Amino acid sequence: MVRIEVKKDQYKLLHPRPVYVIAAGRFDKEVNVMAASWVSPVSDEPPKLALAMWKGNYTYNLIEKYGEFTVNIMSSNDIDKIFYVGSVSGRNIDKLASVKWSIAKGKKVNAPYITESMGHIECTVTNKVDCNEEVLYIADIVYAEVEEKYYNVRYGWDLRVALIPLHVVGKAFTKPESKFVFAKSISLTRKK
């Protein structure tokens, strides 16, 4: 087997990753949405997540201004719309009108969530780390909800019906297979 050094865009080794739509701003005032795959849980107790965001994004400006956002989990059926909201700036374009998504005010935050999403997570920023052109937001999860038909209490997303889009690179996406694959037990080998 031949291995090669990856000298550029090393983050691609961590893809594909689930892609989400981040919504920020104020429900009745100024709103923007954008695609993001650099989202990760970072704590269970209390529940927190991390979101990496390019500082040139309009969404970044709204998170800086209001200190909250929602993470919207969309279906693979929305890949064209997800790519669109991640490819154009919302400074001068109403992305929500373009993709015909509706929003509602968050249950615990004033940031909106997308009503067509399979589920959403509401977050308030508690910390941030400067990462050159990006900022890494650490946020408390203050509320989360999901459509019951997509969720399994034991495993989380029911991947037989909840086809969460995975971003590969650029316009390339994939989606999970509609089945679980369970790991087999491996015998322990004790150190001598």
pLDDT digit string, tens, across residues 173-190 = 988 776 666 778 777 778
Q: Which CATH number fits domain 12-174: 3.30.590.20, 2.30.110.10, 1.20.120.530, 3.40.50.2300?
A: 2.30.110.10
Q: What pairs with residue 130 in β-bridges?
A: 135
User: What pLDDT was estimated at residue 126?
Assistant: 98
Structure tokens at 168: 């590969």
The answer for 17, left when phi > 0, alpha when psi is -120 to 50, beta otherwise, is beta
In total, the chain counts a number of residues equal to 192
Nearest partner of 18 among 163, 142, 179, 183, judged by Cα = 163
pLDDT in tens, 71-91: 999 999 999 999 999 999 999
Q: What is the pLDDT of residue 184?
A: 81
- In this predicted structure, what is the pLDDT of residue 182? 74
Mean pLDDT of 56-74: 97
pLDDT at residue 123 is higher than 90: yes
* pLDDT attached to residue 153: 87
Distances (CA, A) of 46 to 41, 115, 143: 11, 26, 12
pLDDT tens-digit profile of 86-112? Answer: 999 999 999 999 999 999 999 999 999
Residue 37 pLDDT greater than 80, yes or no: yes
Which pLDDT value is given to residue 178?
64
CB atoms within 10 A of CB 179: 7
69 or 11, higher pLDDT:
69
Give the phi and the psi of residue 61 in degrees, each rounded to 5.
Answer: -60, -40
Residue closest to 68 by CA, chosen among 33, 21, 129, 112: 112
Question: Looking at residue 176, what is its pLDDT?
Answer: 79
Give Cβ neighbours of residue 84 (< 8 Å, ≥ 6 apart): 95, 98, 99
Q: Report how far apart the first and last C-alpha atoms of the chain are (Å, whole number).
A: 30
What residue segments make up the domains of the chain, in order of their start? Answer: 12-174
DSSP assigned state of 115: T
